[in-house]
Amino acid sequence: MRQAPTPNDEQGRLQALKTLGVLEAPSDPELDGMVLLAAEVCAAPLAMITMLDSEAERVKSRIGMPFPELRRDMSFCAHAIVEESALEVVDARNDSRFCDHPLVVGEPRIRFYAGAPLVTAGDGFHVGVLCVLDTTPRKLTNVQWHCLSVLSRAVMCRIECQRLRPLH
């Protein structure tokens, strides 16, 4: 498995993530709903909202994924945050970055991944990813990509609004 490159302004990205306060925030039913909607729209059995700190991919909401976090060096999403817009892996078995990944060769046998970065307003840091995964190789349709992109912006809007006005 190939480790993802570090984003150009990693320190700024990590500071933006810290400022959001999302890692310490309690679970949010609205984010859970957005993950469920992403899974439904993309017909995917697995979906997550993840935030990437310096060491791990921290899962804030998930459908079907058994892990609450993964080491960053084992993260599909670590590859997605360095992309300009989104990342699609049609068949992880045929992708040199992931072909020997433990979640590809072992359970849950991930084959497909599509992730839209969660981008902060203003400074544009990619702090996390809204992603869908499947155990069969495939591609998202244009409509599914559009919906995943819209949902990723809605996720960030929710997270940034919570920072400004915490929920009780």
Q: Residue 23 CB: number of other CB atoms within 10 A? A: 14
pLDDT value of residue 165: 65
Under DSSP, the state recorded for 74 is G
What are the extents of the domains in the chain?
10-164
Fold of 10-164: Beta-Lactamase (3.30.450)
pLDDT digits (tens, 9 = 90+) for 1-38: 778 888 889 999 999 999 999 998 888 999 999 999 99
pLDDT digits (tens, 9 = 90+) for 99-136: 999 999 999 999 999 999 999 998 999 999 999 999 99
